[in-house]
Amino acid sequence: SLQARDIAYTVHPYTNLRQHEQQGPLVITGGKGIYVTDDDGKDYIEGLAGLWCTSLGFSEKRLVEAARRQMERMPYTHTFAGRSSEPVIELAEKLIGIAPAPIRKAYFVNSGSEAIDTAIKLIWYYQNARGLPQKKKIIARQRAYHGITLAGGHLTASLAYTSSGFDLPMMDRFRHVTAPSYYRYGLEGESEAQFVDRLADELEQLILAEGPETVAAFFAEPVQGAGGVIVPPKGYFEKVQAILKKYDVLFVADEVICGFGRTGNWWGCNTFDIAPDLVTCAKQLSSAYLPIAGLLMSDAFYQVLADQSANLGTLGVGYTYGGHPVAAAVALETLKIYESDHTIEHVQAVAPRFLERLRRLESHPLVGEARGVGLIGGIEIVKDKATKEQFDQQLKANAQVVAKCLAHGLILRPLPGDTIGICPPLIISEQEIDLLFDRLEAGLDDAL
Ligand code: PLP
């Protein structure tokens, strides 16, 4: 069977490998709209859009056609040494047209992790070029997910499941501050505004303790996704940005999940009023039909890189498949579809229904908090709603709920902090939103 061959030959990421040898894989063989089908012919709503990425669902023929056209015309050229292709040029131009100010240039890679890793390397290159070689430390938030490559993995390192067993951290250049979950980290009697002030103060004190001359950049997802869908309180990013500006610290907005409509605007930066120096994006950039990611930068940042590359002779970073013309053509077509089909407006139109059904879950005995914005949501499972006490982590209460939902034909993902992520394709209709939450409620009831 496919199951037996999978067990015999493959190694799976984020999987308990011994358990997998017993259970085998869920083999997905088809997809249509927001649904996927397994090899037994059972349909599921893809409630996490794959891994927060298949914005246009699983049967968008225009993307297939865009890939076919480009493959026939010119399947590959690279971007090293000034080489380029039409899809790359058009995609860069289009991205810069929609990017949040002050972004002006695009650099293409293949995954979110590569975009983050490249950002880190270029920030260090940038600080060296400015004659500030000691300004190298990077601050992220606890429960951040910024990919898993060796440098970027240090930003994600506060999530134990991504770092334990790998000897991270190895470099003393990374720091973490509290994640902006008022529900989980707000203190007894503290208002949301006081919580925001406390977190801003924590960031400032950290920068001062390290020495501002040693702090290069702050990385943040507008909404923290894989760490448990944490939506920042009002005013949080405003305060954070003021501090970063004061100490000449770059703001890197990791838009790998939020970018392209997820929060109801093109970018999470638009939703939360962030003016980033750098932006990383991936996933919904191509609706995940092919791997492609981008590192977008301000003109001020670019000018320093350009001077340094002239001094040193080259900008020494690049990947064979960075700016792959077929992936770029598919990404370009994805952005055109977002415009022609008014995908962002659609998200704005259906988000109230999504958020209303999401918030209704807070009346369920197992749900401590249900939070979201646009078409991204998360629920936090608790044992005691009054005290917010959690179940014993060994129980994996969230994974149990997710398993029950699967039986009801809904794919979701358990996340750290006993949370569950909900992030359907952006094309979801109001009716399908209702069906998704009906199945989620059934799963929660079964888990009681
Ligand atoms: N950044 C964020 C915010 C992510 O959510 C992810 C993946 O989920 C990444 C970076 C890493 O992207 P990839 O898995 O494509 O390397």
CATH of the domain at 107: 3.40.640.10
CA atoms in the 13 A half-sphere facing the CB of 50: 20
| Residue 220 sits in the same domain as residue 314 | yes
Is residue 353 assigned to a domain?
no
What pLDDT shows up at residue 440? 98
> Where in 148-230 does DSSP place strands (E)?
174-177, 215-220
Please name which of 280, 251, 327, 287 lies closest in space to residue 114, comparing C-alpha atoms. 280
| Residue 251 sits in the same domain as residue 106 | yes
Report how far residue 308's alpha carbon sits from residue 331's, in angstroms, rounded to the nearest whole number: 30
Distance from the alpha carbon of residue 284 to the mean position of ligand 1, in angstroms: 11
| Residue 14 sits in the same domain as residue 83 | no
Show the CA angle centred on residue 336, arms to residues 330 and 337, nearest 5°: 90
Q: Is the peptide bond before 102 cis (omega within 30 degrees of 0)?
A: yes
How much is the average pLDDT of 320-329?
Answer: 98
| Residue 274 sits in the same domain as residue 213 | yes
How much is the average pLDDT of 3-11?
Answer: 98
Using a 6 Å cutoff on CB, does residue 285 contact ligand 1?
no
| Residue 39 sits in the same domain as residue 78 | no
Q: Return the H-helix or E-strand segment holding 46.
A: strand 43-46
Nearest C-alpha to atom 12 of ligand 1 is from which residue?
A: 112
| Residue 15 sits in the same domain as residue 100 | no
Residue 108 has pLDDT above 90, yes or no: yes
Q: Which pLDDT tens digit goes with each residue over 14-31?
A: 999 999 999 999 999 999
Is residue 136 assigned to a domain?
yes
Is residue 248 assigned to a domain?
yes
Q: How far apart are the first and last CA of the chain?
A: 34
Q: Which pLDDT tens digit goes with each residue over 343-384?
A: 999 999 999 999 999 999 999 999 999 999 999 999 999 999
Distance of CA 231 to the CA centre of its chain: 13
Band of pLDDT at residue 59, cut at 50, 70 and 90: very high
| Residue 29 sits in the same domain as residue 73 | no
- Average model confidence (pLDDT) across the chain: 97
Residue 160 has pLDDT above 90, yes or no: no
Please name which of 422, 424, 406, 420 lies closest in space to residue 367, comparing C-alpha atoms. 420
How much is the average pLDDT of 110-129?
Answer: 98
Using a 6 Å cutoff on CB, does residue 257 contact ligand 1?
yes
Distance from the alpha carbon of residue 237 to the mean position of ligand 1, in angstroms: 21
Residue 80 has pLDDT above 90, yes or no: yes
| Residue 18 sits in the same domain as residue 129 | no
| Residue 174 sits in the same domain as residue 312 | yes
Choose one of 311, 340, 369: the last residue of a domain: 340
Residue 323 has pLDDT above 90, yes or no: yes
Residue 161 has pLDDT above 90, yes or no: no
* 8 Å CB contact between 295 and 115: yes
* 8 Å CB contact between 43 and 409: yes
What pLDDT shows up at residue 418? 97
Distance from the alpha carbon of residue 178 to the mean position of ligand 1, in angstroms: 20
How much is the average pLDDT of 140-148?
Answer: 97
Which domain does 138 fall in, by range?
64-340
Band of pLDDT at residue 431, cut at 50, 70 and 90: very high
Statement: the pTM of the whole predicted model exceeds 0.90: yes
Is residue 420 assigned to a domain?
no
* 8 Å CB contact between 382 and 397: no
Place of tokens 């503290």: 190
Residue 207 has pLDDT above 90, yes or no: yes
Distance from the alpha carbon of residue 127 to the mean position of ligand 1, in angstroms: 25
Residue 311 has pLDDT above 90, yes or no: yes
Q: Which pLDDT tens digit goes with each residue over 276-306?
A: 999 999 999 999 999 999 999 999 999 999 9
Is residue 56 assigned to a domain?
no
Q: Which residues pair with 108 in a beta bridge?
A: 294
Band of pLDDT at residue 118, cut at 50, 70 and 90: very high
What pLDDT shows up at residue 48? 98
Residue 318 has pLDDT above 90, yes or no: yes
Band of pLDDT at residue 269, cut at 50, 70 and 90: very high
Using a 6 Å cutoff on CB, does residue 116 contact ligand 1?
yes
Is residue 304 assigned to a domain?
yes
Choose one of 315, 340, 365: the last residue of a domain: 340
Distance from the alpha carbon of residue 167 to the mean position of ligand 1, in angstroms: 21
Q: Which residues pair with 106 in a beta bridge?
A: 296
| Residue 185 sits in the same domain as residue 227 | yes
What pLDDT shows up at residue 123? 98
Report how far residue 419's alpha carbon sits from residue 415's, in angstroms, rounded to the nearest whole number: 5
| Residue 238 sits in the same domain as residue 155 | yes
Question: Total structural domains in the chain?
Answer: 2
Is residue 153 assigned to a domain?
yes
Using a 6 Å cutoff on CB, does residue 112 contact ligand 1?
yes
| Residue 20 sits in the same domain as residue 100 | no
How much is the average pLDDT of 116-138?
Answer: 98
Contacts of 340 (CB under 8 A, 6+ apart): none
What pLDDT shows up at residue 167? 87
Is residue 252 assigned to a domain?
yes
Burial 67-89 (b: 16+ CB within 10 A, else e): beebeeeeeeebbeeeeebebbe
Distance of CA 395 to the CA centre of its chain: 27
Band of pLDDT at residue 448, cut at 50, 70 and 90: confident
Residue type, 433: I
Report how far residue 151's alpha carbon sits from residue 139's, in angstroms, rounded to the nearest whole number: 13
How much is the average pLDDT of 406-433?
Answer: 98
Residue 170 has pLDDT above 90, yes or no: no
Distance from the alpha carbon of residue 413 to the mean position of ligand 1, in angstroms: 15
Using a 6 Å cutoff on CB, does residue 145 contact ligand 1?
yes
Report how far residue 405's alpha carbon sits from residue 420's, in angstroms, rounded to the nearest whole number: 11
What pLDDT shows up at residue 261? 98
Using a 6 Å cutoff on CB, does residue 147 contact ligand 1?
yes
Distance from the alpha carbon of residue 187 to the mean position of ligand 1, in angstroms: 30
* 8 Å CB contact between 179 and 142: yes
How much is the average pLDDT of 103-126?
Answer: 98
What pLDDT shows up at residue 13? 96
Using a 6 Å cutoff on CB, does residue 113 contact ligand 1?
yes
Using a 6 Å cutoff on CB, does residue 117 contact ligand 1?
no
Band of pLDDT at residue 329, cut at 50, 70 and 90: very high
Report how far residue 377's alpha carbon sits from residue 396's, in angstroms, rounded to the nearest whole number: 19
What pLDDT shows up at residue 133? 98
What is the DSSP annotation of 333-400?
Answer: HHHHHHHHTTHHHHHHHHHHHHHHHHHHGGGSTTEEEEEEETTEEEEEE-SBTTTTBPPPGGG-HHHH
